[in-house]
Amino acid sequence: MEIVSLPQATNRFDNLLNTLQEGNPITITRKNRNVAILISPLDFQLLGGEKYLLEQRTKYLEQNRTELKTDLEAIQEEAEKNGLTQEILNDIINDTK
Mean pLDDT, 10 residues at a time, over the chain (97 residues)?
94 94 94 95 88 92 94 90 86 77
Residue type, 91: D
For position 96, what pLDDT does the model report?
A: 62
CATH 3.40.1620.10, applies to 2-46: yes
Note whether 27 and 1 are within 8 A (CB): yes
Residue type, 33: R
Sequence ranges of the domains in the chain: 2-46, 49-94
pTM over 0.85: no
Give the Cβ contact number of residue 38 at 10 Å. 19
> Vertex 49, ends 66 and 44: CA angle to 5°?
160
Alpha-carbon gap, residue 20 to 1, rounded angstroms: 10
For position 97, what pLDDT does the model report?
A: 54
